Structure 1
Amino acid sequence: MKVTRIGFYGIRNIGAGLVQTVVNKGLSAVVFENNSDIYHSALSIIEKNVDSEIEHWGLTSKDKKVMFSKIEHIDKFSDFAKYDIDIIVESVEEELSKKIEVATRIMSELNMNIPIILTSQTNMLKSIVDDMEGAKRTVNIHPVPSVPIYKIVELTRSLNTSEATMEIVRYFFEKLDIKPVEIEDGCGIVGPRILISTVLEACDMMRDSNIQPSDFDLIMKRGLKMYKGPLTMADEIGLDNIKIWIEELSKKDSSVYKVPQIIIDLIGKGHTGIKAGKGFLKYK
Structure 2
Amino acid sequence: MSVKKVMVIGAGQMGSGIAQVCAQAGYQVVLNDLKTEFVERGLGVISKNLTRLVEKGRMTAEQKQDVLDRIRPSTDLNDASAVDLVIEAAVENMEIKTKLFAQLDKIAPENTILASNTSSLPITEIAAATNRPEKVIGMHFMNPVPVMKLVEIIRGLATADEVYQTIEEMTKTIGKVPVEVNDSPGFVSNRILLPMINEAIYALYEGVATKEAIDDVMKLGMNHPMGPLTLADFIGLDTCLYIMETLHEGFGDDKYRPCPLLRKYVKAGWLGRKSGRGFYTYE
TM > 0.5 fold call: yes
Q: Deviations over 1:68-126 (max 9, x none)?
A: 33322211111333xx4221111112122222212222112223412111122222222
Contact 2:3/2:84 (8 A) holds in 1:
yes
TM-score for both structures, normalised by structure 2: 0.83
How has the CA–CA distance of structure 1 residues 234 and 62 changed in structure 2, closer, same or farther, with 3 Å as cutoff? farther
Gaps of 5+ in 2: none
For residues 15 and 269 of structure 1, what CA distance do their matches in structure 2 show? 27
Contact 1:6/1:88 (8 A) holds in 2:
yes
Percent of residue pairs bearing the same amino acid type: 24
For residues 16 and 268 of structure 1, what CA distance do their matches in structure 2 show? 28
Higher relative CO (Cα under 8 Å, sequence separation at least 6) belongs to 1
For residues 200 and 116 of structure 1, what CA distance do their matches in structure 2 show? 32
TM-score for both structures, normalised by structure 1: 0.83
Give the counterpart letter for 1:76 in structure 2. D
- Structure 2 SS opposite 1:8: strand
How has the CA–CA distance of structure 1 residues 151 and 219 changed in structure 2, closer, same or farther, with 3 Å as cutoff? same
Of 176-185 and 266-275, deviating more is 266-275
Q: Quote the offset at 1:270 in angstroms.
A: 4.4
Of 193-202 and 239-248, deviating more is 239-248
Q: Deviations over 1:174-196 (max 9, x none)?
A: 10121111122212211112221
For residues 280 and 191 of structure 2, what CA distance do their matches in structure 1 show? 21
Give the counterpart letter for 2:23 in structure 1. V
Q: Which residue of 2 aligns with 1:14?
A: 14
- Structure 2 SS opposite 1:183: strand
Query: RMSD of the alignment, in Å?
Result: 3.0
Q: Which residue of 2 aligns with 1:105?
A: 103
For residues 103 and 212 of structure 1, what CA distance do their matches in structure 2 show? 44
Of 110-119 and 123-132, deviating more is 123-132
Q: Quote the offset at 1:161 in angstroms.
A: 1.6
Contact 2:89/2:117 (8 A) holds in 1:
yes
Give the counterpart letter for 1:191 in structure 2. S
Is 1:220–2:215 an aligned residue pair? Answer: no
Of 63-72 and 166-175, deviating more is 63-72
Q: Which residue of 1 aligns with 2:272?
A: 273
Q: Quote the offset at 1:17 in angstroms.
A: 2.7
For residues 74 and 236 of structure 2, what CA distance do their matches in structure 1 show? 25
Contact 1:95/1:248 (8 A) holds in 2:
no
For residues 123 and 189 of structure 2, what CA distance do their matches in structure 1 show? 16
How has the CA–CA distance of structure 1 residues 228 and 142 changed in structure 2, closer, same or farther, with 3 Å as cutoff? farther
Contact 2:26/2:67 (8 A) holds in 1:
yes
Is 1:160–2:184 an aligned residue pair? Answer: no
